[in-house]
Structure 1
Amino acid sequence: TAPRMTVAENLLLAAKRGQKRGLKLRRLKENIPAFKEALEKVNPDLAGKLDLPVDQLSGGQRQALSFVMATYNKPELLLLDEHTAALDPRSSRKLMEATDEQIRAKKITAVMITYHMEDALKYGNRLLVLDHGQISHDYQGQAKQDLTLQDLAALFD
């Protein structure tokens, strides 16, 4: 995000990602309804803050905005590297739920790195455990569904 730019201006940058740009009018106002709709799905509080500079948002709001920007135009691959790590538990839970919903709705291929074992068990259709940069365990399908927090914790003993 660009901290001195508004939420709407940041979203406009995300909307134009990958497109050829030249010197022309930015047409920000005509994009406002689409921006509000995108924000409503992830963090409804943000939809009313489109004119606010990003540096005035809370940490959770910034993370939610970053996620909306990253998924505004469907990416080929979405990398989420502890994207809720700096958030309080409530904000973290809300962003994880919104992340899961958007990934499923848009059918985005995503790789999520997390140290929260509960999230690793709850989200996604595959779980990889790394040990010194190497895959030590690979759980998919029923094997992932059957995995418990105790099973996962035991891998780190």
Structure 2
Amino acid sequence: MLDEHTAALDPARAELITNLTEKVVKQSGLTTIMVTHNMQQALDLGSRLIMMDKGQIIFDVRGEAKQKLSLEDLLHEFRRIRGKQFESDRAILS
């Protein structure tokens, strides 16, 4: 379980830790769950993306469909499902 393990790091250190994490996960054949507010990181990593809002799963995508998603697509899905804009610039701009 990786709970925002790059949240308090500067961009260079966050990239280093992300790369190390990917390497360890792949080499060890681990199944991991990564919690992040960084939507680009959520898109770039892993084989499945589960978006939650207010404690509810609102979007679940995996495989090829996940790989095709862009940040704009993800924000559109949030607006479509919740009927409102995503409120955190930090999650979008990280």
Same fold (TM over 0.5): yes
Equivalences for residues 1-157 of structure 1 within 5 A:
79-154=1-76, 155=78, 157=85
RMSD of aligned residue pairs (Cα, Å): 1.0
Bigger strand share: 2
Q: Give TM-score, length-normalised by structure 2.
A: 0.79
- The 3-state SS of whatever aligns with 1:136 is strand
In the alignment, structure 1 segments of 5+ residues that lack a partner are: 1-78
In the alignment, structure 2 segments of 5+ residues that lack a partner are: 80-84, 86-94
- The 3-state SS of whatever aligns with 2:37 is coil
- Number of matched pairs: 79
Structure number with higher relative contact order (C-alpha < 8 Å, ≥ 6 residues apart)? 2
Paired with 2:53 and 2:6, the residues of 1 have a C-alpha distance of 22
**4+ runs of 1 displaced by more than 4 Å?**
none
Indicate the residue corresponding to 2:82 in structure 1.
none
- The 3-state SS of whatever aligns with 1:83 is coil
Q: Percent identity?
A: 42
Q: Which one has a bigger Cα radius of gyration? A: 1
1:153 positional shift:
2.1
